[in-house]
Amino acid sequence: MRRISTVLLLSLFIQIGFAQTNDSISKEHAVEWKKMNASKKATFDWFRDAKYGMFIHWGLYSIPAGVWKGKTLKEYKSSQLAEWIMSSAKIPRAEYAELANQFNPVQFNADSIVLLAKEAGMRYVVLTSKHHDGFAMYQSAASKFNIVDATPFKRDVLRELYNACKRQGLDFGVYYSHNIDWMDGGDGQLAEAIANKMNVGIKNVAFGANTWDPSPNSFEEYLQKKAYPQVKELMHNYPDLKCLWYDMPWRLKPEQSYEFYKIVYDIQPQVIITERIGNGLGDYIIPGDNKIPVDANGIAKPWETVGTHNNSWGYKSYDNDWKTPKEMLYWLIEIVSKGGNYMLNIGPTSEGLVTQQSANNLRVAGKWLKINGEAIYGTQKWKIMHEGPTNLNMEGTTARSQKGFKANFTPEDFWFTQKGKSLYAISIEKPTEEAVIKSFCSEIGKIKRAEILGFGKVKFKQKQEGLTIKIPKGFCPENGYVIKVSF
Ligand code: FHN
């Protein structure tokens, strides 16, 4: 019972969004922030067009892969996410740091991973440059606890992925856990938050703090000596980044969030920043992990849903609940029809590999996108998002892992997008002899042309009840198809 409530609490935190602290930034900083935010239009345009990205959670936690001292995460009464094992199993810092001596992922090949992202139809890649365990996946002058200085591997994988993306024409961004650092973040401002009765927007004020073996330094020292310098070196050493994915801002003060925003802007002004920088200072919204907003119309900024491929971000040896190609396509089209982006995660193993099942599923969905990508990239949401009987509610990581993904898509389900003078009706089910799209009725204007992407022009009838299309004989794609109509 206690385990369940801790897990539920964790999922609740992750789903309610990222709340603010009591204060706000100064008036001068608010004016400055507005100017900086408004100057990023080119990157917002890029983001809106790109639609689909690859998230990579990779770090020392891929060695235990969800098992510590013979016990799986299930037996520890806390988070079930593999990258949280240091916290769930309350591993002392020195003991956790020893994992670095074993980290030697000699099979890692950045070009293969970037090629996989390309084959999957993804347009950008975001790597965890440092996750909550405090370990940097690049050469850092600010902390020796990094992949080059602390492991026998001695290779800067961030640099390798960055270069591979450049070679293969994908865009690149970095994730950085700015607020939570179990290795060096002291008490994560916990004592102060408790003393000041700070409203951190969650019931458990200690959430994410290292309470089992905190580093002896203050949080301010961590910011000055590690976090700010590391963000600066990321910005100096890896130019032309698209985004900085800050995460988990609880207890972070408004001026600290502001500083994290400003240091990025001063070096790479084009970089857009996630809402999880905290205190309302993000450039784009993250509605939740594995969560699709029911109604996205009220979201005023660009947004991105991030998703696990199984039910963990970091590699977890015993979680094989992989999203099938159809499920992946569902997430992507549901999100895109609502105007958002989807960033789907892979968690490489401690050898540096992506599991075969995960790679296969990504590639199958990618084949669909090769034919139908025109209905995804560079599109906008239409006034109608979906028609048909399927109505799912994607509530978050814990919900998916506990309930599983259950859906019976039908040939009557269509999701919509638009681009210029064309509309797209997207199906992820095999067609029957005839497709009827009710939303394309005569009321929306006279349709002049209809085609099936990857197939060609088709005959159609447009009436008050909708558009009817005869599906060509023998046309039966397993994961559906797209009808494009033009006016
Ligand atoms: O705690 C992290 C988690 O490990 C993972 O990085 C996700 C990705 O969105 N962010 C936090 C939980 O929301």
In angstroms, the Cα distances linking 452 to 200, 270, 458, 480 are 51, 38, 7, 11
* pLDDT score at 406: 87
CA 486 → CA 68, 445, 448, distances in Å? 57, 10, 6
| Residue corresponding to tokens 């105007």 | 339
Q: What is the pLDDT at residue 473? A: 95
Q: Give the CA dihedral 206, 313, 269, 23, nearest 10 degrees.
A: -20
DSSP state, 472? P
313 lines ligand 1 (CB under 6 A): yes
pLDDT in the model for residue 23: 78
- For the chain, give the mean pLDDT: 94
pTM to 2 decimals? 0.95
pLDDT in tens, 134-178: 999 999 999 999 999 999 999 999 999 999 999 999 999 999 999
Which tokens is 462 given?
A: 């447009």
> How many CB atoms sit inside 10 A of residue 26's CB?
12
Taking CA atoms only, the protein residue closest to ligand 1 atom 6 is 313
Q: What are the tens digits of pLDDT across the range 337-372?
A: 999 999 999 999 999 999 999 999 999 999 999 999
Task: Measure the CA–CA gap between 481 and 163, rounded to whole angstroms.
Answer: 35
The pLDDT of residue 373 is 98
The tens digit of pLDDT for each residue in 301-339 reads 999 999 999 999 999 999 999 999 999 999 999 999 999
3-class DSSP state for residue 200?
coil
* Burial class of 127 by CB neighbour count within 10 A (0 to 12, 13 to 18, 19+): buried
pLDDT at 21: 57
Closest CA to 128 of 86, 164, 177, 87: 177
**Cα(110) to centroid of ligand 1, in Å?**
23
User: For residues 289 and 14, is the Cβ–Cβ distance under 8 A?
Assistant: yes
Ligand 1 pocket, 81 CB below 6 A?
yes
Q: Is the CB–ligand 1 distance for residue 248 below 6 Å?
A: yes
Q: What is the pLDDT of residue 403?
A: 87
Q: At residue 401, does pLDDT exceed 70?
A: yes
Tally: H helices and E strands in the chain: 15, 18
pLDDT, residue 210, reads 98
**Unique residue bearing structure tokens 């865009």:** 171
Rounded distance from Cα 128 to ligand 1 centre (Å): 10
Name the more confident of 68 and 198.
68
Of all atoms in ligand 1, which is nearest to the CA of residue 177?
6
CA-CA distances (angstroms) from residue 420 to 225, 289, 382, 445? Answer: 50, 31, 11, 15
- What pLDDT digit, counting tens, does each position of 427-440 carry? 999 999 999 999 99
What's the confidence (pLDDT) of residue 138? 98
Give me the pLDDT at residue 156, please. 98
The helix (H) or strand (E) run that includes residue 273 is strand 272-273
Secondary structure (H, E, C), 28-64 = HHHHHHHHHHHCCHHHHHHHHHHCEEEEECCCHHHCC
415 CB near ligand 1 (under 6 Å): no
Percent of the chain with pLDDT over 90: 90
Residue 459: per-residue pLDDT: 96
Topology of the domain comprising 381-486: Immunoglobulin-like (2.60.40)
pLDDT tens column, 27-75:
999 999 999 999 999 999 999 999 999 999 999 999 999 999 999 999 9
The residue whose CA is least distant from atom 4 of ligand 1 is 83
Whether residue 247 has its Cβ less than 6 Å from ligand 1: yes
Within 10 angstroms of residue 469's Cβ, the number of other Cβ atoms is 22
Ligand 1 centroid to residue 211 C-alpha, Å: 19
User: Can you give the pLDDT at residue 6?
Assistant: 45
Q: Which of 81, 130, 179, 303 to mutate to test the pocket of ligand 1 (most atoms within 8 A of CB)?
A: 81
Q: Could you tell me the distance, in angstroms and rounded to a whole number, from the CA of residue 247 to the centre of ligand 1?
A: 7
Query: For residue 342, what are the β-bridge partners?
Result: 52, 305
What are residue 427's phi and psi, to 5 degrees? -115, 145
Confirm or reject: Cβ of 304 under 6 Å from ligand 1.
Answer: no
Cβ–Cβ < 8 Å for 376, 343: no
Count of CB atoms situated within 10 Å of the CB of 359: 18
Number of Cα atoms under 13 Å in the Cβ half of residue 89? 25
pLDDT at 197: 84
DSSP code string of 288-300: -BTB--S--TT--
Determine the pLDDT at residue 17. 44
Q: Indicate if ligand 1 lies below 6 Å from the C-beta of 180.
A: no
Q: What is the mean pLDDT of residues 209-233?
A: 98
Under 8 Å CB-to-CB from 280, ≥6 apart: which residues? Answer: 20, 24
Q: Is 91 in the pocket of ligand 1 (CB under 6 A)?
A: no
| Residue 302 structure tokens | 């660009």
**Residues 6 or more apart whose Cβ sits within 8 Å of residue 211:** 187, 190
Q: Which tokens sit at 162?
A: 């960055």
Nearest CA owner, ligand 1 atom 12:
14
Mutate to test the pocket of ligand 1, among 130, 289, 346 (most ligand atoms within 8 A of CB): 289
Q: Phi and psi dihedrals of 253, rounded to 5? A: -85, 155
- Provide the sign of the torsion angle of the four alpha carbons 401, 395, 43, 265, taken in this order: negative
Distance separating the N- and C-terminal Cα atoms of the chain: 59
Token pair of 485, please? 């109509």
14: which strand partners?
none
Residues forming CATH 3.20.20.80 domain(s) in the chain: 6-375
Q: What is the pLDDT of residue 14?
A: 43
- Greater confidence (21 vs 63) lies with 63
Q: Which CATH number fits domain 6-375: 3.40.1190.20, 1.10.150.120, 3.20.20.80, 3.40.50.1820?
A: 3.20.20.80
Widest CA span of the chain, in angstroms? 73
307: β partners: 344
pLDDT confidence tier of residue 22, bands split at 50, 70 and 90: low
pLDDT at 438: 98
The amino acid occupying position 374 is E
Confidence of residue 393 (pLDDT cuts 50, 70, 90): confident
CATH code 2.60.40.1180 region(s) in the chain: 381-486
